């Protein structure tokens, strides 16, 4: 039985809602659908939708971007990376190179790619040259990177891994005592790979309503209706509102590759700090394709102290769902998609970029 | 970045498939689909060139409609 978006909205309007309910999403794709379909404005006034940690580019550690820039500049290599990473700024003095884009302009061989398939193809076409694949992303993107490694890569392809798991960030928020949300819309494609079960802790350990949603208005509104009903009924459970795509246990084959290629470690999130069990690192078996083993001199421990968001930028609060994008002090003033300051305005998945693209121009700074 | 788009399988060759969406053809890697049987005419969700899940034609259709809406909104 499928309902239309307006039928879901009608059902939501008939719920006897509390004074204020805050629903968090943790996926840039969800936020894009919510913003472009105008779902926020269509919901009852009591319901707030807050974007949370849903952008892997935004939280990619500053020191990793710095490392990528300096490997590309300092070594005779081709560096490939997903296009979103090119404009992410690092915190350096004004005259220094502050992004992969600027490093490319300065002569480094840096190429945007859309798939690990391209990284492998470029390495195969250039057997006498090292190709460094700077790979940032959440589970959905890390699974193809793991599959690429498990399927077999040329000796001259080296992965500079900056992969992260989404659920530990939500767990950290919930364990902080001030999560800032009352219910969760869990990410659709992360769950496609990992299985919806990953999100059961939200319900079991924190008694918060949760639903996995897809990306159509119908699936998102079905998820919102579900968590609102769970909340008012006082019976939280993990609902799956994207069942055609999100299956129990997810994609087991993909998870097997993730497990074969990567180990999970306590990892840094830009502007946030270390989140336990939230990072993917290459296993020993893949050390011969590890860029950090090949080029060890570029990991600068001291940068971890300066690895914050750019000055004046509130991306860290935006990523954690503590403020809305237009509550940032520089949203739309010093920071626009044309000249972005923070990574949330750079990435297509960044909440600031999405809000700007959907027409939000006014600041809402308290 | 976790966006996946539905594509129709045109031809399977080992762990590779020629897939099509909206008239655009792409090579898609099937290495993560080893637990599934895929045939010409099936639909898969594709993320960064890799199929991550087999889907129904209905799900593919509703996802395409969504992308048209989102692209239209981005163009504004």
List the structure tokens of A364: 């809402």
Segment B60-67 mean pLDDT:
84
Q: What is the pLDDT at residue A205?
A: 97
Taking only residues 115 to 144 of chain A, the set having a beta carbon closer than 8 angstroms to any beta carbon of chain B reads 115-118, 137-138, 140-141, 143-144
Domain containing residue B52: CATH number? 2.30.30.140
Number of domains in chain B: 1
Q: Do B66 and A215 touch (CB under 8 A)?
A: yes
Q: Is the pLDDT of residue A110 over 60?
A: yes
Query: Which of A244, A319, A354, A357 should one mutate to test binding to chain B, selecting the residue with the greatest count of B CBs within 10 A?
Result: A244
Segment B24-49 mean pLDDT:
96
Contact A342, A59 (CB under 8 A): no
Q: Is the pLDDT of residue A167 over 90?
A: yes
Query: What is the rounded CA–CA span in Å between residue A221 and residue B66?
Result: 14
Q: Is the pLDDT of residue A153 over 90?
A: yes
Strands A183-186 and A77-82: unpaired
Chain B CB contacts of A248 below 8 Å: none
Name the closest residue on chain B to residue A114, using Cα atoms.
B48
Distance from CA of A42 to the nearest CA of B (A): 17
Question: Please, where are the H alpha helices in A99-216?
Answer: 100-105, 116-125, 139-151, 167-175, 188-194, 200-204
Distance from CA of A36 to the nearest CA of B (A): 6
Q: Is the pLDDT of residue A366 over 90?
A: no
Q: The domain A57-166+250-306: what is its CATH number?
A: 3.40.50.11740
Choose among B32, B48, B70: nearest Cβ to A33. B70
Query: Strands (DSSP E) along B1-76, which ranges?
Result: 5-13, 16-21, 24-29, 43-47, 50-55
Query: What is the rounded CA–CA span in Å between residue B31 and residue B48?
Result: 13
Please state, rounded to an integer, the average pLDDT across all residues of chain A: 95
Segment A262-268 mean pLDDT:
97
Q: Put the strands of the sheet holding A210-213 in their side by side order.
A: A47-51, A21-25, A183-186, A210-213, A238-241
Q: Is the pLDDT of residue A301 over 90?
A: no
By the CB < 8 Å criterion, does B5 face chain A? no
Chain B CB contacts of A358 below 8 Å: 73
Taking only residues 56 to 85 of chain A, the set having a beta carbon closer than 8 angstroms to any beta carbon of chain B reads 56-57, 82, 84
List the structure tokens of B20: 């099509």
Q: What is the pLDDT at residue B74?
A: 62
Q: What is the pLDDT at residue A306?
A: 59
pLDDT band (50, 70, 90) for residue A12: very high
Q: Is the pLDDT of residue A49 over 90?
A: yes
- pLDDT tens-place string over residues A197-245: 999 999 999 999 999 999 999 999 999 999 999 999 999 999 999 999 9
pLDDT band (50, 70, 90) for residue A53: very high
- pLDDT tens-place string over residues A171-189: 999 999 999 999 999 999 9
Name the closest residue on chain A to residue B56, using Cα atoms.
A244
Q: What is the pLDDT at residue A44?
A: 97
Name the closest residue on chain A to residue B16, using Cα atoms.
A117
pLDDT band (50, 70, 90) for residue B75: low
Query: What is the rounded CA–CA span in Å between residue A365 and residue A234?
Result: 34
Contact A365, A329 (CB under 8 A): yes
Q: Which residues contact B17 (CB under 8 A, 6 or more apart)?
A: B9, B10, B11, B27, B28, B30, B38, B44, B51
Q: Is the pLDDT of residue A304 over 80?
A: no
pLDDT band (50, 70, 90) for residue B1: low
By the CB < 8 Å criterion, does A27 face chain B? yes
Q: Which domain holds residue B66?
A: 5-75
Distance from CA of A95 to the nearest CA of B (A): 30
Q: Which of A7-21, A33-47, A220-234, A304-318 has the lowest mean pLDDT?
A: A304-318
More confident residue, A93 or A115: A115
Segment A145-157 mean pLDDT:
98
Q: Which of A90-94, A362-366, B67-71 has the lowest mean pLDDT?
A: B67-71
Q: Do A254 and B29 touch (CB under 8 A)?
A: no
Segment B51-65 mean pLDDT:
90
CA A56 to chain centre: 3
Query: What is the rounded CA–CA span in Å between residue A247 and residue A32?
Result: 23
Q: Do B52 and A140 touch (CB under 8 A)?
A: yes
Q: What is the pLDDT at residue B40?
A: 96
Q: Is the pLDDT of residue A1 over 60?
A: no
Segment A338-361 mean pLDDT:
93
By the CB < 8 Å criterion, does A213 face chain B? no
By the CB < 8 Å criterion, does B16 face chain A? no
Q: Do A141 and B47 touch (CB under 8 A)?
A: yes
Largest Cα separation within chain A, whole Å, is: 67
Q: Do A144 and B32 touch (CB under 8 A)?
A: yes
Distance from CA of A234 to the nearest CA of B (A): 32
Q: Is the pLDDT of residue B76 over 60?
A: no
Query: What is the rounded CA–CA span in Å between residue A76 and residue A67?
Result: 15
- pLDDT tens-place string over residues A306-338: 568 888 899 999 999 999 999 999 999 999 999
Q: Do A251 and B76 touch (CB under 8 A)?
A: no
């Amino acid at each position: 039985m499928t309902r239309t978006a307006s039928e879901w909205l009608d059902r939501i309007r008939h719920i006897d809602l509390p004074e204020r309910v805050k629903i968090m999403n943790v996926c840039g794709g969800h936020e894009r659908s919510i913003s472009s379909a105008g779902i926020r404005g269509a919901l009852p006034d009591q319901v707030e939708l807050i974007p949370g940690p849903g952008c892997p580019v935004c939280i990619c550690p500053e020191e990793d971007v710095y490392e990528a820039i300096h490997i590309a500049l300092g070594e005779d290599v081709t560096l490939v990376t997903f296009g979103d990473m090119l404009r992410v700024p690092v915190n350096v003095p004004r005259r220094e190179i502050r992004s992969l884009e600027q490093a490319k302009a300065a002569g480094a061989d840096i190429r945007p790619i859309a798939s690990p398939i391209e990284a492998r193809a470029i390495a195969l076409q250039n057997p006498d040259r090292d190709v460094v694949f700077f790979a940032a992303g959440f589970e959905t993107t890390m699974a193809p990177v793991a599959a690429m490694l498990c399927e077999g890569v040329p000796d001259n392809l080296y992965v500079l891994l900056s992969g992260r798991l989404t659920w530990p960030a939500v767990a950290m928020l919930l364990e902080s005592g001030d999560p800032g949300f009352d219910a969760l819309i869990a990410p659709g494609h992360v769950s496609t790979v990992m299985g919806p079960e990953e999100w059961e802790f939200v319900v079991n350990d924190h008694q918060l309503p949760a639903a996995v949603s897809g990306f159509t208005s119908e699936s998102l509104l079905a998820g919102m209706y579900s968590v609102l009903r769970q909340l008012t009924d006082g019976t939280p459970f993990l609902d799956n509102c994207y069942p055609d795509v999100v299956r129990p246990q997810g994609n087991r084959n993909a998870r097997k590759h993730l497990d074969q290629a990567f180990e999970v470690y306590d990892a840094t999130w830009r502007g946030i700090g270390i989140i336990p069990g939230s990072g993917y690192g290459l296993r020993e078996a893949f050390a011969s394709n590890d860029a950090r083993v090949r080029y060890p001199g570029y990991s600068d421990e001291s940068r971890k102290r300066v690895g914050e968001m750019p000055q004046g930028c509130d991306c860290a609060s935006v990523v954690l769902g503590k403020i809305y994008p237009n509550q940032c002090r520089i949203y739309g003033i010093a920071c626009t998609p044309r000249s972005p300051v923070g990574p949330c305005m750079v990435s297509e998945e960044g909440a600031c970029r999405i809000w700007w693209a959907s027409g939000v121009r006014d600041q809402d700074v308290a | 970045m976790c966006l996946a788009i539905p594509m129709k399988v045109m031809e399977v060759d080992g762990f590779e498939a020629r897939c099509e969406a909206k008239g655009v053809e792409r090579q898609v890697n099937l290495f993560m689909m080893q637990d599934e049987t895929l045939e010409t005419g099936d639909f898969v969700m594709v993320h960064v060139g890799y199929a991550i899940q087999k889907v129904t034609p209905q799900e593919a259709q509703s996802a395409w409609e969504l992308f048209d809406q989102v692209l239209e909104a981005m163009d504004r």
